[in-house]
Amino acid sequence: MEFASVWRSFGAEVTVVEALPHLVPLEDVAMSKVLERAFRKRGIQLRLGATVDVVKETGSGVSVGLADDVEIEADVVLVAIGRGPASSGAGFEDAGVTLDRGWVVTDERLRTSAAGVYAVGDLVPGLQLAHRGFAHGIFVAEDIAGLAPEPVEDRLVPRVTYCDPEIASVGLTEAQARELYGDVETREYSLAGNGKSQILGTSGLVKLVREMNGPIVGVHMVGARMGEQVGEAALMVSWEAFPEDIARFVHAHPTQNEALGEAALALAGKPLHDHA
Residue 263's H or E segment, with its range, is helix 258-267
State residue 40 phi and psi, 5-degree precision.
-65, -40
Length of the chain, please?
Answer: 276
In the chain, how long is the greatest CA-to-CA distance? 63
Query: What are the backbone dihedrals phi and psi of residue 24, each rounded to the nearest 5 degrees, phi first?
Result: 35, 65
How many CA atoms does the CB half-sphere of 223 hold within 13 Å?
28
End-to-end CA distance of the chain: 26
Give the torsion through C-alpha atoms of 139, 143, 146, 147, to 10 deg: 20
Per DSSP, what are the bridge partners of residue 222?
A: 167, 205
Sheet with 159-161, edge to edge strand ranges: 159-161, 166-171, 216-223, 205-211, 184-190
Whole-number Å distance between alpha carbons of 64 and 77: 8
253 is catalytic: yes
From 136, 253, 273, 275, active-site residue:
253
Radius of gyration of the chain (CA): 21
Query: Strands 216-223 and 205-211: what pairing?
Result: antiparallel
Proportion of the chain in helix, strand, coil states, percent, rounded to 5: 35, 20, 45
Task: Give catalytic residue positions.
Answer: 253
